Amino acid sequence: MKQMSEQHYLREPIRPIRLDENINLAGLIEQFRYTSYQSRNLYNAFHVMELMQTDPERPIVFLTLAGAMIPAGMKGVLNEMMKRKMVDVIISTGANVTHDVVESLGFPHYKGSPYVDDEELRKAGICRIYDTFLQEDGFWKEQEVVLKVAERIGDKVCSSREFIYELGKELRNRDSFVGLAAELGVPVFCPALNDSDIGIALTKYYEERHGKDGFRIDPIRDNYEIFQIFVKAKKTGIIIVGGGVPRNYGQQIPVIAEVLTKKTGQA
C-alpha cells in the first residue's frame, strides 16, 4: 500500500477571517472557504448556488422547503428568490402553504415562547408553532378560502400544483409566496398536502359531500407533471432546506424519470 507523504495532506492552511469596514456579505462568505466546520460548508453551499446561477446552460433549479418556514419569517427570502429567477420549481410542505395563506389573509405570526402553557393559549384562541404565536381565527379564514377554491374548481381531478396555482390566483397578494408563484409561473408542488391544515379543510369539503365526486387531488399526477419538467431540462440543480417529504420527493425525481423512460423488458 502506497504511503502518503505529509505534504499530501498538509496542502492548504486555514486562514483567519479578516474583518474590515469595507467587507460585504459575499466577501465574508468567500473567506469561509479557508475556515473549518460549518462556515466552510456554508461557503460550499454558496459556491454551488453561484455555479447554478452562472452556468451558461442555466439548470432548472428545484427548491425543497421543509417544516414551517413561513412562521419563521423566511417568506421574503423565498419571494426574492422567485423574483430574481433563482428557483424554477418549489416542492413544499403543506404547512408552508397553509401559513402563507393565513398571513395573506391578515393574520401575522408573532414572537412567542415554547414554554407558555398551551392550555392558556388555547383558551385565548392562540396557536403555537414552537416559539411563534398565531391567532386561531386565521386558520378558520384560511379554511373558508380553501373551500371556496375547491368549489370553484368543481368536479375535477387536479395535481397539488394545479390546486396551489388556483389558490394563489384567489389570494391576489404579491406578498404571498403562493400568490407570487402563481403570478410568475413558478410551479409549487406539495406531495403531502393532506398532512396540513389545507388537507384538513379539503377533508371537510369531502365530508360535506358525503364522499361523492367533486374536486379531488391526485398525488400521482404530481409525479407525472414534475417528471415532464425534469426530462425537458438539459441540467438540473436542487436547493434543499431541511429534510422530510419535500427533500425526499425532490431527490427521487431522477428515479421517477429513470423508471418512466426505461423501455419495457429492459434489464
Please, are residues 233 and 60 in contact by the beta-carbon 8 Å criterion? yes
The class of domain 59-260 in CATH terms is alpha beta
| The pLDDT of residue 267 | 53
Give the chain's count of helices (H) and strands (E): 13, 9
SS3 63: strand
Mean pLDDT, residues 58-71? 96
pLDDT in tens, 196-255: 999 999 999 999 886 677 889 999 999 999 999 999 999 999 999 999 999 999 999 999
| The pLDDT of residue 24 | 94
Domain boundaries, the chain: 59-260
* Distance between CA atoms of residues 213 and 186, nearest Å: 29
| The pLDDT of residue 264 | 60
* Distance between CA atoms of residues 109 and 125, nearest Å: 14
| The pLDDT of residue 99 | 98
Determine whether 140 is exposed, middle or buried from the number of CB atoms within 10 Å of its CB (0-12, 13-18, 19+): middle
| The pLDDT of residue 263 | 66
Residue 84 C-alpha cell reads as 430574481
**Weakest mean pLDDT among 87-96, 114-123, 171-180:** 171-180
In the beta sheet, which residues pair with residue 237?
61
Residue 240 carries which side chain, given as an amino acid letter?
I
| The pLDDT of residue 1 | 54
Angle in degrees, CA 30, 67, 121, rounded to 5:
125
Torsion angle in degrees (nearest 10) through CA of 56, 49, 101, 117: 180
